Structure 1
Amino acid sequence: MKKTKFLLIIILVSSLIITSCGGSEVTSVKKTETDAPERAQSLANDSDNAAEEVEHQIEPKLYRVGETAIVDDAYAITIIGVVETEERNQFSDKQVEQVLIIDYIYENLSLADEDIYISDMNFKFVDEGGNMCDSYPVGEIYPPEHTPMGARTLTSMTIGTINHSNEIRVLYYNNMFDSKPTAEFILTVGTVVEPDLFGQTPVYENMYSAGDIIEIKTESGDYTLCIDSVKLITERNQFSDKTPAEVYKIAYTYSNISHEEDIYISEMDFRIIDKNGNMAFSYPGNTSKYPQATIKGARCSAEMIIGTHTEGDVLILCYTDNLFSNTSDVKILLNTK
């Protein structure tokens, strides 16, 4: 009898656990005349009325174009412009009312152990009709770059709206999986401010120079890297929308000492900073030497072409052994003039 009671208790407890784990969280279902945007406005009005009875109510900061959001004194984000473009992607099936190009700058203020990377995946967008907006594939933009401490990245993102909007909400999330935004922007379409791209050259410890043969040891084996030369070039690509202040051709050599797997080092493995602390960008130009998968005991010489936002006489190359890593492994100071 005791065994029967014990068995019944086990079955009852198990069923309760299963019900709580797999049950629905729905508490009510009914027909309604309003959807999310109108309902949210109604709730906001109710909240405002309640807030009138609370002294010293602190409202969250809403940033505008040109205003800087500083996150934990670690990094800063400034949206510098929102402009509408008539360009459309003939290969996209997305139906949009407007296409907006959003230019922004992010700066690594104090994260020495992390090269920050902020892309459109860290943002959510809402048009004036309360519709969630999505990225839209159009135009050539400056891509986000992994950005070491003391440097900044000028980049862009392009979105499509469902309703024609004079203002849009842009919500930034430090962690794209968070439910609460880290910062919120209210942006007027057509507003642009001139970015400040002039600053100090970052200073890092243990920087190498052009011509140094740098031996890099890893768990998989050893290899060397050398920056052979850097040359300022005047040629520009007539088909590129990028407008570099300067363009450089950088020659480098790497050799596989003891890796059983081939070594391959391309421009994607470098994060390059100009004299004023801006991240440089890849630029389409003519090269005669290309990186190759390099077997143990062999070397490869290659070239890459980069553009900078400002003029200067130095570049800092930040090399990472793993292009998906958030930190740079080697920093190389180059005198360009």
Structure 2
Amino acid sequence: MKKILSICLVLLTSFALCACSSEEGKETNNQTKTEEKIYGVGETITYKKDGQERVHFTVNSVSNTSDRNEFADSQPEQVIIIHYSYENIASEEDVYFSSVNFKVIDEGGNVCETYPASINTYPQTAPIGTKSEGEEAYGLKQQSSKIKLVVDLDYFGNKVTYELPIQ
């Protein structure tokens, strides 16, 4: 009987300790999320892996365009062009940023899609020691004076957020 009581006591203590440590972990995660930095035009993000700088990423500008594609399925309220640049400092794999790395959100909180507008600069893969730049066009569902841009730096959840005025 004493053995069973001892085992039950050990199990209860273990569950209580696990529950406490789980709550502490949640608080730490919430604090990290609220302290996330929001970046602006011209600010460079440095992606690090294993303590080493690998990639620099910068949004250079966001501008309106009057360009509309008569064959587009969507009829957005506003079309913008995002101009960005990146540099492969020490990534063994070639670096390439495009719309698959981006999530654009207009002032109404709508997640927006790419739009087939004319762009002038197409991103290229960048091996170590090289730079590239690119442009992406997006159709906004609501007229906006600024957007939120979430950039996925490595496809593994390392994301940064920009708040960008539209020029």
- TM-score, normalisation: structure 2: 0.74
Matched, 1:186 2:163: yes
- Identical positions, percent: 34
- TM-score, normalisation: structure 1: 0.38
* Distance in structure 1 (CA, Å) of the matches to 2:31 and 2:71: 54
SS of the residue corresponding to residue 121 of structure 1 reads helix
- How far residue 174 of structure 1 moved from its aligned partner, in angstroms, is 2.6
- Equivalent in the alignment of 1:108: 88
Candidates 94, 107, 129, aligned match of 2:74: 94
Candidates 58, 61, 69, aligned match of 2:37: 61
Q: 2:149 corresponds to which letter in structure 1?
A: V
User: Residues 253-264 of structure 1: matches in 2 within 5 Å?
Assistant: none
User: Residues 102-181 of structure 1: matches in 2 within 5 Å?
Assistant: 102-111=82-91, 113-176=92-155, 180=157
SS of the residue corresponding to residue 83 of structure 1 reads strand
Preserved CA contact (<8 Å) 1:141 1:157: no
Preserved CA contact (<8 Å) 1:127 1:133: yes
Matched, 1:74 2:54: yes
* Distance in structure 2 (CA, Å) of the matches to 1:92 and 1:65: 29
Decide which structure has the larger Cα Rg and report it. 1
* Distance in structure 2 (CA, Å) of the matches to 1:102 and 1:56: 28
Preserved CA contact (<8 Å) 2:126 2:132: yes
Q: 1:110 corresponds to which letter in structure 2?
A: A
SS of the residue corresponding to residue 129 of structure 1 reads coil
- Equivalent in the alignment of 2:23: none
More helix by share: 2
Uncovered stretches (5+) of structure 1, i.e. residues with no partner: 1-50, 191-337
- How far residue 175 of structure 1 moved from its aligned partner, in angstroms, is 4.0
- Equivalent in the alignment of 2:12: none
- How far residue 140 of structure 1 moved from its aligned partner, in angstroms, is 3.1
Uncovered stretches (5+) of structure 2, i.e. residues with no partner: 1-26
Report the count of equivalent residues: 135
Preserved CA contact (<8 Å) 2:119 2:135: no
* Distance in structure 2 (CA, Å) of the matches to 1:166 and 1:88: 19
Is the alpha carbon distance of 1:128 and 1:57 closer, same or farther for their aligned partners in structure 2, counting shifts above 3 Å? closer
Q: 1:92 corresponds to which letter in structure 2?
A: A
Preserved CA contact (<8 Å) 2:89 2:128: yes
Question: What do the CA deviations read for 1:96-115 (whole angstroms, capped 9, x no partner)?
Answer: 0110000000100112x211
Question: What do the CA deviations read for 1:292-322 (whole angstroms, capped 9, x no partner)?
Answer: xxxxxxxxxxxxxxxxxxxxxxxxxxxxxxx
- How far residue 171 of structure 1 moved from its aligned partner, in angstroms, is 0.3
- Equivalent in the alignment of 1:236: none
The runs of at least 4 consecutive aligned structure 1 residues that moved more than 2 Å come to: 54-58
Question: What do the CA deviations read for 1:54-73 (whole angstroms, capped 9, x no partner)?
Answer: 99996111110000011111
SS of the residue corresponding to residue 82 of structure 1 reads strand
Preserved CA contact (<8 Å) 2:60 2:84: yes
Preserved CA contact (<8 Å) 1:173 1:182: yes
User: Residues 1-337 of structure 1: matches in 2 within 5 Å?
Assistant: 59-72=35-48, 73-111=53-91, 113-176=92-155, 180=157, 182-190=159-167
Higher relative contact order (CA 8 A, sep 6+): 2
